[in-house]
Structure 1
């Protein structure tokens, strides 16, 4: 079936996408069947705020990922959305603007994930999510309700794992594939809440998604759930044994593909200072955990942030609380070359605002920004930074407002390098909020600029937010049962 400017797509969001294009370009008619590629256009579901209304034209292009357009075409009302005469390649992307990319007030954008077009393969029909830029759009999918769950970007899709609902831990694993628009369960894992995630990439084996730690029935979960994608699109679930049954721990992928797991608290027990490494076994590259070091300052509710993309990039361990609940002010640095902590006794890195339950996000200039969290007196609204060779420092005028979240929020690095912060609570006893904001950096002095953006349709806290392969952000969970997922469509900058 050829998709016209106004035609309904297949699989998920059928009514939504037809509504988008029917309103924008009128009519759900069919075009010629002999085309090279027919993108399937998805869109918001019953969400007029995110739906691009009143479009007389749209513009589509095909380009190699990150490259210049190879073919560009303008479509008027009623024309079939189909592109022919495309170059062969395994890294092609279809872009769509409304009304077109060169008009200063273009309001809508969408792109596909990377697709392959080959002479000896079936013609692809990739999905493209098209909506107003800078808006949250409601989707026609309703994931399993989960709070404090995980969303893992894996093999171009998003895996939703773990967390809890009103009845206890959630064991169902769900997968959303933006390239096909399909959302469905893919398996089950053991019961666990407050777990952490990491991607494990051995040099001689497939990448795997790991779910580590957490608790079930007030006991720590020692097993690691290992998820591996197969060639037929299915997921293989397996278990690796460990002794990392802790909450408030962190898992960080190193530059060499291994994972370090740091600190945490044994449920009902003490805070620990263990640093474990998950490395490939010598026989078959399966993940094998082992204890390699100890923190000088045991902590839970901290962050562990890899600084840079180099194979030997160090990890900054900051914040968290000790056994007495007191925030830990002294940060520690892990060196993957020595598999140990760097001696900073002579000049220890001290946080401006010791905090726990915060977020730490790397910036494109090599620094790290710390957002939210709690200190000994309550919410921390002042952002602070860390830069290698400088240490922690205070920003000028980078302070969250009293109605912006400091706990239970989610952060996502957007394709243009900005940080999207969604939902959460303005205090530890506050209600869920729907507000969102974007953190950009001043190009002259690197100071964060906090700018409110569109609000989510639903208030969420302890939710999941994951960047998809098309540059949009999938928002799930953290809301009452039955609430639909949402999708944030950033500007097209950085999404080539």
Structure 2
């Protein structure tokens, strides 16, 4: 083909595009950075092509591009990190190519690249995270290859890597999110068009195996195999990191399958396991799969027997089908009977080896578990199983272990869990019908008997006597027909396979009262292996089957017992036979499965609505199947079991629920996905705090889709409020499916003071549930009080140690250094303001250091006894160890302040003669020492030393409520607190 068309995911529509300049298949197509699409190579039907062309979507036109150096069919094309396109391998004129070339879209030029180590066709090429390209497998003309090699664009070279575990071609390779490469399936031998004459067993080389390449270690590791061997399939990386594998050519099994799979499965790289996905509507291989912007996967074309079809896989889409636990054994042509307690008995049929089996098992819809029961007394398939009024199950006839019809019958007791032989039927038969009559008896009719010849005979089983009684035979011998109990108690038998080995259209009615058959108007279409379903209005819907000329049918018709007429109804969307048809609780009819014909999937299902005479899609089952059973469960769901599929006879089971997400429900059993949440069927179990499924609880979005509760709400009280100090839940949901934590910046503690003038801010929640330590900051010139920095002052004590409270304005100001102008001592760091200048007073005696004769020792009076003496010094008395400069240290001098060089002491009183007024007696006015350092003039008076001229200490600021007093021992001025209630500026001292 040369045709092209465009798909728009927004409206799910196709539009024609301009055709290519030349027809081609097995070409390569790649999206370029410019938005154009490069198409290269392929075959025109007779030879490989070297041509290339570019599609411009903006102008809907094809632009010729430079041709490759080599014509090639089935090449791979890979965009490199540089924007160049690497094209490798393929097939041309009988040669499997090893050559490679690079296309530069900017220059429209091709350049030869280093060739691979071997020619390959049907290989894969995967761009790795480091920019290299991994090429795996393929066919070299002799065998499928297990080899793999890496192309390095920087070095333009190929390097062999560890080979795969098996040679494979037409496989798939998918780059996983973690950088590894998943390789799936493929075929061991080539079975292309030129080898159509090969024996069929050569097609049994398709692999189910899968393996993973790790670019870091350069090694392969086996992972779980797929459920089906397949080649020419697709493997698409989904948005969530899983891989969807769909379709492909299947191993040919002993069945009527076309060899094209509709089945799909999903690989989970984290778990290293596979799970089933709903099957496609069409079995196909050699198709394409494209990841759409919304996360869906568009599957188009392929080898499937019909043209012009596409379908989209939606990973998040709701499906009415869900997988159930598989049966213990594989069954087809078996029976599945709803028991009185709601469980389902599956019995007999063909087993996995295509021979009749006696096994029986029971499915419990509540636990979804199968339990093995005692086997039947006889192996059988194509038998009937009828629930009797007493709750027991009558099994009759079928094909026995010798593959001939049998007459035996047996009864299963669900309470005793035993099988008991019943009287055998009068006639051995298989592919017959069994109908429970209104009076509790069972009518058995038709089937094929000895010699595989259809029979007309009928007989009735009486559960009261456990005996069979012959009934009037039908007017027409038939097998693979249908028998339907009408509302008036009669039984309609229609169609079947006749004695002339043709499908028949005849129909007849059995009247239990007269025990006779009456022919009625024949069906419009002759058919067998069809279905017949009683509708709510009493009419009977017949659908599908195998018709005249051996054509499978899609037609449907309805029989009206009131008029005895057949009326054509809307046909099904596809032909079907060996399907099932089950009336739903709402009166509609579900049709599911079929033998695959024309490539159409055996997994498709549709629902008939008698009120509108229309069919609507009902999704696809997880497995293609025919010859299966479908049983209506009490909850309105339908259990589908067994049958035949692409993998042979099946053990799998699945459940259809007509109730989709968003519909009202009371219990999980009401819903397709077994999840009833918030009173609606939900697409997921939706467990956990702050998750909901109803729009009302979520606050937005549709019913039936599990999602987070809107931020700020908590309809189910999932989030108990915790104190802000914990930074935990604040009592509402966060809008992301979890309890909302106290917001970032929420205080989770109190601020505190660190020392005098630093504050530690209150700790704050980080928004992640942690109370984070806060910063420590300075209060500057102010003090920190009760975890806060003061912002003004009245007293100096409200300021930092290196600050003072200004007299005007109430602000704390930094104290000034020595030499700065000042008005008050508190303004100075030194604490001393003299003559309007901040001065240092190291000994705190009120005398500036630069004027102090004792800078380090208090000497407020600045007394310096020897200051005027020729032998004296400039040191004040407080720091001079010889105040009188008489050569005797003060500590040992008997006259410390008056020179007494010889230390004369006439009266021996310890006071030297030079300073003793009494002995020898001195004249009044003579200098002496009265022992009080605060008197500045001491003289002898009448033989005693009298002090005078007391030193007056400078007084501190009256606002500090202190007074300076001269200390007798040292002459230093010490400060004392004023008495309470003493006046101070603007108040009283306290």
> TM-score when scaled to structure 2?
0.29
Alignment of 1:8-47 (within 5 A): none
Is residue 239–residue 295 contact of structure 2 (8 Å, CA) maintained in 1? yes
1:198-257 CA-to-partner distances (Å, cap 9, x unmatched) read: 1222xxxx2211111111111111111210122xxx312011122341111111111122
CA distance in 1, matches of 2:175, 2:186: 17
User: Which residue of structure 1 lines up, in the alignment, with residue 225 of structure 2?
Assistant: 350
User: Which residue of structure 1 lines up, in the alignment, with residue 73 of structure 2?
Assistant: 193
C-alpha deviation, 1:278, in angstroms: 0.7
Please identify which structure carries the higher strand content: 1
User: Which residue of structure 2 lines up, in the alignment, with residue 321 of structure 1?
Assistant: 187
Alignment of 1:64-75 (within 5 A): none
Establish whether residue 301 from structure 1 lines up as the match of residue 170 from structure 2: yes
User: Which residue of structure 2 lines up, in the alignment, with residue 10 of structure 1?
Assistant: none
Is residue 135–residue 150 contact of structure 2 (8 Å, CA) maintained in 1? yes
| Alignment counterpart, residue 212 of structure 1, candidates 65, 79, 88 | 88
Q: Secondary structure at the match of 1:164?
A: coil
CA distance in 1, matches of 2:8, 2:236: 27
C-alpha deviation, 1:180, in angstroms: 5.1
Alignment of 1:90-105 (within 5 A): none
Establish whether residue 174 from structure 1 lines up as the match of residue 53 from structure 2: yes
CA distance in 1, matches of 2:285, 2:50: 25
CA distance in 2, matches of 1:424, 1:379: 9
Is residue 188–residue 206 contact of structure 2 (8 Å, CA) maintained in 1? yes
Alignment of 1:360-399 (within 5 A): 360-377=235-252, 378-395=259-276, 398-399=278-279
Query: Does the C-alpha gap of structure 1 residues 350 and 109 become closer, same or farther in structure 2, counting only changes over 3 Å?
Result: closer
CA distance in 2, matches of 1:244, 1:176: 32
Larger mean CA deviation between 375-384 and 185-194 belongs to 375-384
User: Which residue of structure 2 lines up, in the alignment, with residue 247 of structure 1?
Assistant: 121
CA distance in 2, matches of 1:356, 1:177: 32
CA distance in 2, matches of 1:169, 1:228: 22
Is residue 263–residue 283 contact of structure 2 (8 Å, CA) maintained in 1? no
Is residue 384–residue 392 contact of structure 1 (8 Å, CA) maintained in 2? no
Is residue 298–residue 312 contact of structure 2 (8 Å, CA) maintained in 1? yes
User: Which residue of structure 2 lines up, in the alignment, with residue 281 of structure 1?
Assistant: 154
Alignment of 1:412-491 (within 5 A): 412-426=290-304, 430-431=305-306, 433-442=307-316
| Alignment counterpart, residue 263 of structure 1, candidates 134, 137, 141 | 137
User: Which residue of structure 1 lines up, in the alignment, with residue 102 of structure 2?
Assistant: 226
Query: Does the C-alpha gap of structure 1 residues 212 and 109 become closer, same or farther in structure 2, counting only changes over 3 Å?
Result: closer
Q: Considering only aligned residues, what root-mean-square deviation do their CA atoms show, in Å? A: 2.8
C-alpha deviation, 1:393, in angstroms: 2.4
1:241-296 CA-to-partner distances (Å, cap 9, x unmatched) read: 223411111111111221100011112x01111111011234xxxx3222122111
C-alpha deviation, 1:379, in angstroms: 2.2
C-alpha deviation, 1:418, in angstroms: 1.0
1:362-404 CA-to-partner distances (Å, cap 9, x unmatched) read: 11111111110122122222111100132342326x1223xx2
Is residue 131–residue 153 contact of structure 2 (8 Å, CA) maintained in 1? no
Q: Secondary structure at the match of 2:298?
A: strand
Query: Does the C-alpha gap of structure 1 residues 349 and 109 become closer, same or farther in structure 2, counting only changes over 3 Å?
Result: closer
Q: Secondary structure at the match of 1:301?
A: coil
Query: Does the C-alpha gap of structure 1 residues 266 and 400 become closer, same or farther in structure 2, counting only changes over 3 Å?
Result: same
Q: Secondary structure at the match of 1:175?
A: strand
CA distance in 2, matches of 1:163, 1:199: 18
Is residue 89–residue 98 contact of structure 2 (8 Å, CA) maintained in 1? yes
CA distance in 1, matches of 2:127, 2:118: 16
CA distance in 2, matches of 1:383, 1:407: 12
1:30-77 CA-to-partner distances (Å, cap 9, x unmatched) read: xxxxxxxxxxxxxxx9x9xx9xxxxxxxxxxxxxxxxxxxxxxxxxxx
Q: Secondary structure at the match of 1:272?
A: coil
1:416-463 CA-to-partner distances (Å, cap 9, x unmatched) read: 12111112222xxx35x1011111113689x99xxx9xxxxxxxxxxx
CA distance in 2, matches of 1:315, 1:140: 36
Alignment length, in residue pairs? 298
User: Which residue of structure 1 lines up, in the alignment, with residue 676 of structure 2?
Assistant: none
CA distance in 1, matches of 2:79, 2:301: 25
1:141-184 CA-to-partner distances (Å, cap 9, x unmatched) read: 44321111111111221001011113311221101123455521
Is residue 301–residue 320 contact of structure 1 (8 Å, CA) maintained in 2? yes
Please tell me whether Structure 1 or Structure 2 has the larger radius of gyration of its CA atoms: 2
CA distance in 2, matches of 1:160, 1:255: 25
Query: Does the C-alpha gap of structure 1 residues 381 and 109 become closer, same or farther in structure 2, counting only changes over 3 Å?
Result: closer
Instruction: Name which structure has the greater RCO, CA cutoff 8 Å, separation 6+.
Output: 1
Is residue 223–residue 243 contact of structure 1 (8 Å, CA) maintained in 2? no
Larger mean CA deviation between 240-249 and 290-299 belongs to 240-249
CA distance in 1, matches of 2:260, 2:58: 40
- 5+ unaligned residues in a row in structure 2: which ranges? 190-201, 253-258, 323-572, 574-990
CA distance in 1, matches of 2:244, 2:8: 29
User: Which residue of structure 2 lines up, in the alignment, with residue 76 of structure 1?
Assistant: none
1:309-358 CA-to-partner distances (Å, cap 9, x unmatched) read: x5xx110011012245412222111001122213x4xxx41111121111
User: Which residue of structure 2 lines up, in the alignment, with residue 127 of structure 1?
Assistant: none
Query: Does the C-alpha gap of structure 1 residues 420 and 223 become closer, same or farther in structure 2, counting only changes over 3 Å?
Result: same
CA distance in 1, matches of 2:125, 2:312: 25
CA distance in 2, matches of 1:207, 1:414: 22
CA distance in 1, matches of 2:184, 2:17: 37
Is residue 304–residue 315 contact of structure 1 (8 Å, CA) maintained in 2? yes
Query: Does the C-alpha gap of structure 1 residues 184 and 293 become closer, same or farther in structure 2, counting only changes over 3 Å?
Result: same
> TM-score when scaled to structure 1?
0.56
Establish whether residue 158 from structure 1 lines up as the match of residue 37 from structure 2: yes
CA distance in 1, matches of 2:8, 2:283: 29
CA distance in 1, matches of 2:140, 2:315: 38
C-alpha deviation, 1:135, in angstroms: 1.4
Query: Does the C-alpha gap of structure 1 residues 143 and 416 become closer, same or farther in structure 2, counting only changes over 3 Å?
Result: farther
Is residue 173–residue 184 contact of structure 2 (8 Å, CA) maintained in 1? yes
